[in-house]
Structure 1
Amino acid sequence: MAAPVEKKVTVGTIGAYLGSVGLLAILTTIQGDAGLIDPLPDPTEPFVLALIPTAITFVSGWAAKHTPRA
């Protein structure tokens, strides 16, 4: 019998999805005005932007409780 998926994994996955969707919405909004990311050097922009959904995933997974094991 397969083990149940832990709540931490489910919450982290949902957090990653919502963080990515939110990031895409923000990027679509600022597409014409890149003032928010102008201070960053061009090669670092994708890495800094990738930290947003990563941080959301980490925090949501950290905050979720473990699935109890019998």
Structure 2
Amino acid sequence: MPQSKVIETKVKAASAAAFLGSTSLLAALAAVEDNARLLSWMPDTVAPFVLALVPTAITFVSGWAAKHTPRI
């Protein structure tokens, strides 16, 4: 009988971190929207890429730190 597929802990951790990181970043951006001086030092063409690195870094670190799901 085929074994059901288990979602690894690493995938769950990285997915949760990506969601939380993205929502946190969006909340921060909503707060910053009224105060553009916080991002004024960054060129407009670079800002989206730098801001996209935040949830990417959170996802990478959480996926790296989570343990593998044991396989039988």
Interval of TM-score (by shorter of Structure 1 and Structure 2): over 0.9
| 1:32-51 map, 5 Å | 32-51=34-53
What is the alpha-carbon root mean square deviation over aligned residues? 1.0
Deviation of 1:17 after TM superposition, in Å, equals: 0.2
Give the aligned length: 70
Superposed displacement of residue 47, structure 1: 0.4
Identity %: 54
TM-score, structure 2 normalization? 0.91
| Structure with higher helix content | 1
- CA drift of 1:36 comes to 2.1
Could you list the structure 1 runs, at least 4 aligned residues long, displaced by more than 4 angstroms after superposition.
none
Instruction: Provide structure 1 residue ranges, at least 5 long, that are not aligned to the other structure.
Output: none
TM-score, with length taken from structure 1:
0.93
Q: Tell me the secondary structure at the aligned position of residue 23 of structure 2.
A: helix
Within a 5 Å distance, the mapping from 1:31-70 to structure 2 comes to 31-70=33-72
Corresponding position of 1:21: 23
